[in-house]
């Protein structure tokens, strides 16, 4: 229906003579407008203010009429949006339409899993479709610009904003970034239902010290270019219309005042021609950071760095005219910055179609959208433990099921962070889905047991114990409420909060030999050892969104096999953080043979002193669960890894392939992953790098060969002079179902073209 509907809109657009403007048309129109604009109107375009929440105060009307605004954020009452737009288009001198920005992060009315959960699907096409759905729903409310995708790289689950990321790996994040940009923007930004995307936060935000939001980041240029920049580069290459700065201080220069980031790299090296918006009040914060003397100086530094539009605060409005008059800002530079903003407005087709008519769009939360949300939730679920194949539960054998925990039936919490527009009335909770699926065949006893995930009271535990004791199976719905992750919601301890560990022990003790299944919803990786000890199976559901309930029920009862894989390493203990699969080898790499556990230390210290390695004595060197990990109801056997040739010259390609066989007894999806290692380089190289992944569906007994293309450019890295290079040498490649796959093959990259037949 989506496709049909879009086809109809394209036809309608053609009928009305609306078509995408060519780049040269756009540049001519931009230049023409700039020519006509007063300084005040230019500064107006560089100003964004917060909406008034479904009202239109007189001062806002006047500012729009005077050309004093370029954008409004957080106004989603479509009538107000259209009225503001009407004033801009019909009553302002030059009729320049406004951008209406909103955080459409993982859905709109229909909420998809948090981005970290979507990343667990390893399915960029699903992510693209989700963003497309969100764009259609948001468009109906007048939104034409979303502040997504968030593509900060973070290896620290204490940081609350990991929920908004696609996890720890730049390759996976880049693929998801491109998918989301395509989903929001489509092929042609001006086509109906497409909205401008915003890659954020440029750059380095995810490396905040100790995972404390807004804290300092210190990132060597090499790591910036190798880890933090690639997703932004991918988004820029995919045509992302805008970028947002970061709140954080990068190597002593806050990102919002950082010329290296926005001028040298973004414009100079990557040729970005869209625009950059500051984060909320982040220009003003240059004063608080202590790099700007006052508001005027902060405005000057932000312009100089390359921030086109100011979000929320009035520093540009108050100081830019004075800065121009005093010669502190070059008028030509200001023109160029305004041109970037106008270019995006033209590309969006706002001059041709400034208004939004909700009836032009499909109904929000329609069946198709709900089905997509269910599919996305389903593919995000990661099965972390399944002792004795406790899951799936056999529905026909159950007479009594205990459903226990604070997250079994909460319409709000399962939606996760950043869901301003999420509609809780359409949420399907796990409890409602379980009841629906079990019908009359089994009795469901529900005990919330805790008021919320942080509760310390044990008041509800007796009822939980009784329910567990008399049930055939116990389903525990645990985790973090949505407010425990997201912006400014960081945690120093990342186990289950409140008294949940006690609840698990109580319930597991009462259940005796009945299966105890934990379903955990959370906005980040958690330390799960105390739960894993007590339960038979553990399904990690992230915050799964509107349709989390049916997706979870389908997996618990085996209608579908879980298929998600971890996009972020799960540590055993907080002290291991940062722990991630793409670490360096070090000069003293750990292994099971030379690792000394703290308990053995007294005896073995002397004997093995030469074997001391880069690891923690009390935690070991392995995480609880590695990146890429996730179990299935099927089992998969990998074999016969091969390269199409053992050697390739620079500029050439080869393929790496392996067979994957479903040796289980159910059909299931598996995410096949390709990793490589460059054994010797002028810079130390990660022990493994993700280079490819593919979701394949296999029936029981079915075997397939999965083939990945690898070009020598795919093996490039940032060398000592900050240039991307591929060096000749020996490489290892692994194919498997997680980052600790052991099926390996070797190949060589040569400088010269290899001989025929090699
Ligand atoms: C966040 C951004 C967000 C903006 C607008 C800021 O606090 O850091 O990610 O887009 O608010 O809501």
The pLDDT tens digits for 488-530 are 999 999 999 999 999 999 999 999 999 999 999 999 999 999 9
Residue pair 541/415 in contact (Cβ under 8 Å)? The answer is no
Q: What is the pLDDT of residues 338-367, one digit of tens each?
A: 999 999 999 999 999 999 999 999 999 999
* Confidence band for 4, pLDDT divided at 50, 70 and 90: very low
Query: Cα(311) to centroid of ligand 1, in Å?
Result: 9
Identify the pLDDT of residue 99.
99
Does pLDDT of 603 surpass 90? Answer: no
Identify the pLDDT of residue 595.
78
Q: What is the pLDDT of residues 359-393, one digit of tens each?
A: 999 999 999 999 999 999 999 999 999 999 999 99
Cα gap 678→732, rounded to integer Å: 7
Q: What is the mean pLDDT of the chain?
A: 95
Identify the pLDDT of residue 755.
62
Mean pLDDT of 249-278: 98
User: And the tokens for 692?
Assistant: 């490819």
Per-residue b/e over 108-137, b at no fewer than 16 CB within 10 Å? bbbbbbbbbbbbbbbbbebbbbbbbbbbbb
Domains, the chain, with CATH or none: 3-356 (3.20.20.300), 367-556 (3.40.50.1700), 587-622 (no CATH), 636-750 (2.60.40.10)
Identify the pLDDT of residue 12.
45
Does pLDDT of 1 surpass 60? Answer: no
Closest residue by CA, ligand 1 atom 11: 280
Residues marked active site are found at 279
Q: Pocket of ligand 1, candidates 101, 103, 215, 283: which has the most ligand atoms within 8 Å of its Cβ, to mutate?
A: 103
Mean pLDDT of 612-636: 93
Query: Cα(205) to centroid of ligand 1, in Å?
Result: 12
User: And the tokens for 238?
Assistant: 């995919």
Identify the pLDDT of residue 591.
81
**DSSP tally for the chain: helices H, then strands E:** 22, 26
Cα gap 332→334, rounded to integer Å: 5
Q: What is the pLDDT of residues 425-440, one digit of tens each?
A: 999 999 999 999 999 9
User: And the tokens for 363?
Assistant: 């109904």
Residue pair 250/261 in contact (Cβ under 8 Å)? The answer is yes
* Confidence band for 598, pLDDT divided at 50, 70 and 90: confident
Query: Cα(680) to centroid of ligand 1, in Å?
Result: 41
Name residues whose C-beta falls within 8 Å of residue 231's C-beta, 6 or more positions apart in sequence.
151, 153, 166, 170, 173, 174, 177, 199
φ and ψ at residue 258, rounded to 5 degrees: -100, 100
Which ranges in 688-743 belong to alpha helices (H)?
Answer: none
Does pLDDT of 18 surpass 70? Answer: no
Cα gap 11→433, rounded to integer Å: 40
Residue pair 486/161 in contact (Cβ under 8 Å)? The answer is yes
Cα gap 103→8, rounded to integer Å: 28
Cα gap 409→427, rounded to integer Å: 10
Mean pLDDT of 260-285: 98
CA dist list (Å): 323 to 115, 314, 467: 41, 14, 70
Give the sheet arrangement for strand 636-643, strand by strand.
636-643, 653-662, 703-711
User: And the tokens for 206?
Assistant: 């995810």
Does pLDDT of 296 surpass 70? Answer: yes
Furthest-apart CA pair in the chain: how many Å? 84
Q: Among the listed ranges 137-151, 416-430, 563-577, 585-599, which one has the minimum average pLDDT value?
A: 585-599
Query: Cα(280) to centroid of ligand 1, in Å?
Result: 6
* Confidence band for 68, pLDDT divided at 50, 70 and 90: very high
Cα gap 61→49, rounded to integer Å: 12
200 CB near ligand 1 (under 6 Å): yes
Mean pLDDT of 750-754: 78
DSSP conformational letter for 96: P
* Confidence band for 608, pLDDT divided at 50, 70 and 90: low
Identify the pLDDT of residue 193.
97
Tally of residues, the chain: 758
φ and ψ at residue 586, rounded to 5 degrees: 70, 170
* Confidence band for 240, pLDDT divided at 50, 70 and 90: very high
147 CB near ligand 1 (under 6 Å): yes
Mean pLDDT of 703-730: 98
Q: Among the listed ranges 18-27, 244-253, 690-699, which one has the minimum average pLDDT value?
A: 18-27
Does pLDDT of 9 surpass 50? Answer: no
DSSP conformational letter for 193: T
Residue 74 CA: nearest ligand 1 atom is 12
Query: Cα(281) to centroid of ligand 1, in Å?
Result: 10
Q: Pocket of ligand 1, candidates 73, 105, 138, 147: which has the most ligand atoms within 8 Å of its Cβ, to mutate?
A: 147
Residue 312 CA: nearest ligand 1 atom is 5
Closest residue by CA, ligand 1 atom 8: 279
Identify the pLDDT of residue 597.
77
Q: Which of 487, 63, 71, 418 is nearest to 241 (CA)?
A: 71
Query: Cα(150) to centroid of ligand 1, in Å?
Result: 10
* Confidence band for 753, pLDDT divided at 50, 70 and 90: confident
Q: What is the pLDDT of residues 630-639, one digit of tens each?
A: 999 999 999 9
625 CB near ligand 1 (under 6 Å): no
* Confidence band for 613, pLDDT divided at 50, 70 and 90: confident
Q: Pocket of ligand 1, candidates 151, 282, 487: which has the most ligand atoms within 8 Å of its Cβ, to mutate?
A: 487
φ and ψ at residue 430, rounded to 5 degrees: -60, -45
Region of 107 on the Ramachandran plot (φ > 0 left; ψ -120 to 50 alpha; else beta): left
Does pLDDT of 16 surpass 50? Answer: no
C-alpha angle 641/643/649, rounded to 5°? 155
Cα gap 643→450, rounded to integer Å: 54
Cα gap 242→308, rounded to integer Å: 10
* Confidence band for 617, pLDDT divided at 50, 70 and 90: confident
Identify the pLDDT of residue 748.
98
213 CB near ligand 1 (under 6 Å): no
Q: Please report which helix (H) or strand (E) contains residue 158, including its range.
A: none
Does pLDDT of 607 surpass 70? Answer: no
Cα gap 135→224, rounded to integer Å: 30
Mean pLDDT of 540-566: 98
Name residues whose C-beta falls within 8 Å of residue 685's C-beta, 6 or more positions apart in sequence.
584, 585, 677, 678, 679, 717
Q: What is the pLDDT of residues 127-166, one digit of tens each?
A: 999 999 999 999 999 999 999 999 999 999 999 999 999 9
Identify the pLDDT of residue 22.
83
From the number of C-beta atoms within 10 Å of its C-beta (0-12, 13-18, 19+), residue 513 rates as exposed
Does pLDDT of 124 surpass 80? Answer: yes
Mean pLDDT of 553-579: 98
């Amino acid at each position: 229906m989506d496709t049909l509907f879009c086809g109809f809109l394209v036809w309608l657009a053609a009928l009305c003579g609306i078509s995408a403007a060519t780049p040269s048309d756009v540049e001519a129109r931009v230049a023409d407008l700039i020519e006509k604009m007063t300084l005040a109107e230019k500064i107006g375009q560089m100003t964004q203010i917060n909406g008034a929440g479904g009202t239109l105060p007189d001062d806002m009307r006047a500012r729009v009429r005077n050309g004093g605004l370029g954008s409004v954020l957080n106004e989603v009452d479509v009538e107000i949006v259209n009225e503001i737009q009407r004033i801009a288009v019909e009553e302002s001198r030059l009729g320049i339409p406004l951008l209406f920005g909103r955080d459409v992060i993982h859905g709109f009315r229909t909420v998809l899993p948090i981005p970290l959960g979507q990343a667990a699907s390893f399915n960029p096409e699903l992510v693209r479709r989700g963003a497309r759905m969100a764009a259609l729903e948001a468009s109906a409310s007048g939104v034409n610009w979303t502040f997504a995708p968030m593509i900060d790289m973070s290896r620290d689950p204490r940081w609350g904003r990991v929920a908004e990321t696609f996890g720890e790996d730049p390759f996976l994040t880049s693929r998801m970034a491109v998918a989301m940009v395509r989903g929001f923007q489509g092929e042609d930004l001006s086509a109906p239902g497409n909205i401008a995307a915003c890659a954020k936060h440029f750059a380095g935000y995810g490396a905040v010290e100790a995972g404390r939001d807004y804290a300092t980041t210190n990132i060597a240029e090499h790591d910036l270019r190798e880890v933090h920049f690639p997703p932004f580069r991918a988004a820029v290459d995919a045509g992302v219309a805008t970028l947002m700065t970061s709140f954080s201080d990068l190597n002593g220069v806050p990102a919002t005042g950082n010329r290296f980031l926005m001028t040298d790299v973004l414009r100079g090296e990557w040729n970005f021609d869209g625009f950059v918006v500051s984060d909320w009040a982040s220009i003003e914060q240059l004063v608080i950071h202590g790099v700007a003397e006052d508001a005027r100086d902060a405005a000057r530094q932000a312009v100089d760095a390359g921030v086109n539009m100011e979000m929320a605060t009035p520093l540009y409005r108050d100081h830019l005219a004075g800065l121009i008059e005093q010669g502190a800002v070059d008028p030509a530079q200001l023109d160029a910055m305004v041109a970037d903003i106008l270019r995006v407005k033209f590309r969006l087709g706002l001059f041709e179609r400034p208004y939004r008519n909700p009836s032009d769009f499909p109904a929000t939360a329609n069946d198709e959208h709900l089905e997509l949300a269910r599919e996305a939730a389903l593919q995000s679920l990661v099965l972390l433990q399944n002792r004795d194949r406790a899951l799936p539960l056999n529905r026909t054998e159950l007479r009594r099921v205990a459903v226990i925990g604070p997250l079994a039936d909460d319409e709000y919490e399962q939606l996760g962070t950043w869901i301003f527009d999420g509609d809780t009335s359409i949420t399907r909770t796990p409890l409602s889905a379980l009841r629906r699926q079990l019908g009359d065949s089994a009795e469901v006893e529900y005990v919330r047991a805790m008021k919320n995930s942080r509760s310390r009271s044990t008041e509800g535990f007796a009822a939980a114990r009784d329910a567990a004791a008399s049930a055939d199976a116990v389903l525990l719905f645990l985790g973090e409420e949505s407010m425990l992750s997201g912006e400014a919601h960081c945690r120093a301890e990342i186990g289950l909060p409140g008294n949940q560990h006690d609840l698990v022990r109580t319930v597991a003790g009462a259940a005796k030999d009945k299966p105890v299944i934990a379903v955990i919803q959370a906005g980040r990786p958690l330390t799960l050892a105390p739960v894993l000890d007590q339960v038979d199976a553990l399904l990690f559901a992230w915050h799964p969104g509107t349709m989390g309930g049916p997706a979870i029920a389908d997996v618990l009862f085996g209608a579908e096999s879980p298929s998600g894989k971890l996009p972020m390493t799960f540590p055993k203990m907080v002290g291991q953080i940062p722990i991630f699969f793409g670490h360096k080898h070090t000069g003293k790499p750990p292994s099971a043979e030379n690792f000394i556990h703290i308990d053995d230390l007294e005896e073995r210290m002397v004997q093995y002193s030469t074997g001391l390695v880069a690891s923690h004595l009390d935690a070991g060197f392995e995480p609880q669960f590695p990146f890429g990990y996730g179990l299935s109801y099927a089992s998969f056997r990998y074999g016969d890894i091969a390269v199409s040739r053992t050697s390739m010259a620079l500029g050439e390609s080869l393929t790496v392939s392996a067979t994957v066989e479903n040796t289980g007894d159910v059909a299931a999806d598996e995410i096949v992953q390709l990793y490589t290692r460059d054994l010797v380089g002028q810079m130390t190289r990660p022990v493994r790098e993700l280079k490819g992944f593919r979701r394949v569906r296999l029936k029981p007994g079915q075997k397939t060969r999965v083939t990945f293309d690898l070009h020598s450019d795919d093996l490039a890295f940032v060398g000592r002079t900050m240039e991307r290079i591929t060096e000749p040498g020996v490489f290892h490649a692994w194919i498997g179902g997680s980052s600790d796959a052991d099926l390996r093959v070797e190949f060589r990259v040569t400088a010269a073209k290899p001989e025929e037949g090699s």
